[in-house]
């Protein structure tokens, strides 16, 4: 069966679909570009995309460098990017491709879900991550999901992402800067001075020392002197 894709009317340069955009109307084909070094895989993906109503392949390239060099030729809603490429890797290239084409959503393709590359790709701007063994129907669904604000991931990749974030833990909340006097107090406590001795060195009362230390607890989100000193040392606030 021959699939004929309707030609779109020329109505000037059309803005790309972003994560905040609504889903494109059914008659508008999603524009997809491919960066994949294996010709068989690259041609197979292009045939799948061009052979499916509602999708159109607008460019296919064998490396990140080629895609960047010829970026003026393609205007895509979604870029399928292989992670293991000759020259610059896909996980490194995401950032440059996103900078060159900020409205194009990047969907990574890989054979194996390697944690470090998954994390690097997501940090550099990829919105999704699929294994190459993903069935064609699910791949097409993932492309549309990425174009309309989603973050598609193969189950194996999603599990690694969850594991990685569990290992790294939640980000520490932003803290209010400590005053010079509070830093001097913390340094004295780290050096082994008591509240009384610290008060004498700073020429303030013990009650003022206690007031300062309560402020330090609140700012560093800690509950004891040892926690405060430990966190201050880790952050390089004191030595």
Structure confidence at residue 10 (pLDDT): 37
Structure confidence at residue 113 (pLDDT): 66
Q: What is the pLDDT of residues 160-200, one digit of tens each?
A: 776 666 665 555 566 688 999 999 999 998 888 888 989 99
Domain topology for 180-234: Arc Repressor Mutant, subunit A (1.10.10)
Whether 131 shows a pLDDT value over 50: the answer reads yes
Whether 1 shows a pLDDT value over 50: the answer reads no
The overall average pLDDT reported for the chain is 82
Whether 5 shows a pLDDT value over 70: the answer reads no
Which residue from 52, 53, 57, 55 is spatially nearest to 42, judged by alpha carbons?
57
First vs last Cα of the chain: how many Å apart?
74
Helix 39-50 vs helix 136-147: crossing angle, to nearest 10: 70
The ranges assigned to domains in the chain are: 30-168, 180-234
Which residue from 92, 95, 79, 6 is spatially nearest to 36, judged by alpha carbons?
79
Question: Comparing 30-34, 105-109, 132-136, 148-152, which segment has the lowest mean pLDDT?
Answer: 148-152
Q: Which CATH architecture has domain 30-168?
A: 3-Layer(aba) Sandwich (3.40)
∠ Cα 31 45 98 (to 5°): 50
More confident residue, 49 or 114: 49
Measured in whole angstroms, the distance separating CA 236 from the mean position of its chain's CA atoms is 28
Q: Would you give the DSSP letter of residue 153? A: B
Give the confidence band of 239 by pLDDT, cuts at 50, 70, 90: confident
Whether 229 shows a pLDDT value over 80: the answer reads yes
Structure confidence at residue 168 (pLDDT): 59
């Amino acid at each position: 069966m021959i699939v004929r894709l309707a030609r779109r009317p020329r109505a000037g340069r059309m803005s790309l679909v972003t994560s905040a955009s609504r889903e494109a109307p059914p008659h508008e084909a999603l524009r997809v570009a491919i960066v994949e070094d294996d010709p068989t895989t690259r041609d197979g993906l292009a045939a799948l995309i061009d052979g499916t109503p509602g999708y159109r392949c607008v460019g296919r390239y064998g490396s990140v460098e080629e895609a960047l060099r010829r970026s003026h030729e393609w205007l895509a809603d979604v870029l399928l990017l292989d992670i293991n490429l000759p020259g610059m890797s896909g996980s490194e290239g995401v950032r440059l491709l996103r900078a060159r084409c900020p409205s194009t959503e990047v969907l990574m393709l890989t054979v194996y879900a390697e944690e470090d590359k998954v994390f690097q790709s997501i940090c550099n701007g990829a919105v999704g991550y699929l294994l190459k063994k993903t069935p064609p129907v699910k791949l097409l669904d993932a492309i549309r999901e990425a174009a309309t604000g989603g973050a598609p991931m193969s189950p194996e990749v999603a599990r690694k992402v969850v594991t990685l974030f569990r290992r790294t833990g939640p980000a520490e909340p932003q803290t209010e800067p400590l005053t010079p006097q509070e830093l001097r107090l913390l340094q004295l406590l780290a050096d082994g001075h008591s509240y009384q001795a610290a008060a004498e060195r700073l020429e303030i009362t013990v009650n003022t020392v206690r007031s300062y230390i309560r402020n330090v607890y609140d700012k560093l989100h800690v509950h004891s002197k040892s926690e405060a000193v430990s966190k201050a040392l880790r952050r390089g606030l004191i030595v």
